[in-house]
Amino acid sequence: MERRWQRRSPVLFDWLRKNLSTQAQTMPLYIRIKEKIIVFFLAASSFVSVFITALIIYILFSESAGFFKKVPLGDFLFGTRWSPLLEPASYGVLPLINGTFLVTAGALIIALPVGLLTAIYLSEYASNKTRQFLKPVLEILSGIPTVVYGYFALTFITPILQTIIPITEVFNAASASIVVGIMTLPIITSLSDDALQTVPRSLREGAYALGATRFEVSTQIVLISALPRVGASVILAVSRAIGETMAVTLAAGATPKMTANIFESVQTMTAYIVEVSLGDTPQGTIGYQTSFAVGLLLFIITLTLNFMAQRLLYKKKH
Amino acid sequence: MNQQSITKPYEKAVVEVKNLSVFFNQNEAVKKVNLSIPINKVTAIIGPSGCGKSTLLRSINRMHDFEPIARLEGNIFLEGEDILLKSVDAVSLRRKIGMVFQKPNPFPKTIYENILWGPKINGFKINEDELVEQSLRQAAIWDEVKGRLFDSAISLSGGQQQRLCIARTIAMKPKVILMDEPCSALDPRSTGRIEDLILELKNEYTIVIVTHNMQQAARISDYTAFFYDGELIEYGNTSKIFTTPVLKQTEDYISGRFG
């Protein structure tokens, strides 16, 4: 039914018809308001995570600022003795970085070859049946709580290491490396497998057509084509290994040390933060602030690595 | 069973397909095909989509080995040897039978490495620079790329990539080159260059080309095989097939009445 104003003002009516969506014309007002409220809550909940991230970064920086007022940045980054809680105090973070990278390097020695070979097997050799069985099994590895890994390292791997290599200490970097390697295996395997799968079939066929064997095609064509993405998976695994806390705290010990001997006890950055958090270091003291400085450093390292991985993943093809 | 009209070429056959059937699970994609491919000639395989022409082509270099659901019956003889036997090594067979694909598929390596990869993995004793130049010249792409042999092959245009893939194939010095619609992803100009190239290459190689483009088949091939629904319907001299086909079905397809 035509209303009176429509007759009186056809121009206005046309304008309204063009500029209101069909939805807006047909939907009653209360539904439109309800929609608005729903959208508001959806957006708000997605901003919660952004807000929390910003808050954590703010706290890391503000607490670290207190630390860096007392300790020069150079002494922190390049000092080779870490003894913030015991006199004479010293705040050189290198021993913690050394511990972290010793464990990470050891983990990578295990996870990189095993992970890559598994990925190549899954992607290029395994039948669909095998694949459907193996992939979920591998993913179970990442579902095991890390404290279980730590306990496993301490009570199972370390005794074995001690019988093989008697100099092995109760807490040692080697057993931590082994379990962190197992932990990061699914990351490398799963992401590298995905990377290999993205290589087009036509490229494989082109290689086979030249008289290549499956192994030559897998390693020289498929793996090379997927190399940026495979690299990203390795970087993400390294980032995960650096951030790993529970297993290394349990297995690697709490002795900040500049050593390359993986059978000795070391302390990683994460394990140090645990030590301070559990101990009775009073809030506001420099000992308390050290954990934020170490946390900030850890954050910057893993953020950089994750950023590099993203760059590799979204790099334009050649 | 459709009517058939098959005239065997009088030249010596390099590849002899005998009673070949290809199944994908229960579906018979190629049905009891007999086809002999003459030496140093271009043989075109035409027919509507899904008629089994690519399937037949891929049987000749055993590409179906990677397809667990594919099953082949019959024989394919390459110079008298049955290449479908389990005992024949498909990897060394593919050295003798090269293939160029529908979409150009250069490796993400340099132009130089693209040419040498095949001969190298097969342990051929070669003079690298010489082989690269010779193959690229034969593929009529040397003048365009000689200044940038160490650039990535991905940086080439589609038509250049396809000629590079042909160069990569002839670097292996195969007996037979299979081409699976090599121009379907290219513009008319690149298509023209590849057609000229095919005419050049037949002096040294035996070429089997699957094509959708009937003018192309008429222009470049010596023999034409018309497939329909997995069966070889008519086979013979290209000029004869295109001017005076024996069967009505062939005539209808060629004149564009179906397909």
Provide block-wise average pLDDT over 10 residues at a time, chain A (318 residues): 56 65 67 89 93 94 91 90 85 93 95 95 92 89 90 93 90 94 94 94 94 94 94 94 91 89 92 88 85 94 93 70
Yes or no, beta carbons of B94 and A213 under 8 Å apart: no
pLDDT at A318: 44
What residues of B are in contact with residue A317 (Cβ under 8 Å)?
154
B46-78 pLDDT, tens digit per residue, is 999 889 999 999 999 999 998 889 999 999 999
pLDDT at A142: 84
Nearest chain A residue to B155 by CA distance is: A318
Alpha-carbon span B194 to B188, nearest angstrom: 10
B19-42 pLDDT, tens digit per residue, is 999 999 989 999 999 999 999 999
* Comparison of pLDDT for A170 and B3, the residue scoring more: A170
Alpha-carbon span A5 to A52, nearest angstrom: 53
Radius of gyration of chain B (CA): 18
B200-213 pLDDT, tens digit per residue, is 999 999 999 999 88
pLDDT at B248: 87
pLDDT at A20: 61
Mutation target among B91, B115, B155 for the A interface, most CBs of A within 10 A: B91
Residue type, B141: I
SS3 of residue B86 by DSSP = coil
- Asked casually if ipTM beats, i.e. exceeds, 0.90, the reply is yes
CA distance B12 to chain A (A): 25
β-sheet bridge partners, residue B219: none
pLDDT at A85: 81
pLDDT at B190: 87
Size of interface A-B (CB pairs under 8 A): 67
Measured between alpha carbons, how far is residue A308 from residues A102, A198, A238 in Å? 21, 20, 12
B145 contacts chain A (CB < 8 A): no
Of A200, A211, A225, the CB nearest to B95: A211
CB A253 within 8 Å of CB A169? yes
**B176-198 CB burial, b ≥16 within 10 A, e <16:** bbbbbbbbebbeeebbebbbebb
Query: What CATH class is the domain A90-313?
Result: mainly alpha
Report helix angle A269-278 to A94-120, nearest 10. Answer: 120
Tokens of A59: 């706290």
What residues of A are in contact with residue B107 (Cβ under 8 Å)?
203, 206-207, 221, 224-225
Measured between alpha carbons, how far is residue B36 from residues A146, A256, B75, B225 in Å? 66, 78, 12, 10
Alpha-carbon span B98 to B170, nearest angstrom: 8
DSSP A242-272: HH--HHHHHHH-S-------TTS----HHHH
- Could you tell me what percent of chain B has a pLDDT over 90? 74
B152 contacts chain A (CB < 8 A): yes
Residue type, B175: K
Give the closest residue to A267 by CA, choosing from A48, A83, A61.
Answer: A83
pLDDT at A16: 63
B155 contacts chain A (CB < 8 A): yes
* Average pLDDT along chain B: 91
**Is residue B147 over pLDDT 50?**
yes
- For chain B, which residues make up each domain, given as ranges? 5-254
Yes or no, beta carbons of B172 and A317 under 8 Å apart: no
Yes or no, beta carbons of A209 and B94 under 8 Å apart: yes
CA distance A216 to chain B (A): 8
The Cα diameter of chain B in Å comes to: 56
Yes or no, beta carbons of A220 and B121 under 8 Å apart: yes
**Is residue B223 over pLDDT 50?**
yes
CATH number of B5-254: 3.40.50.300
Give me the residues of A, 157-186, that contact B with CB < 8 A. none
B61 contacts chain A (CB < 8 A): yes
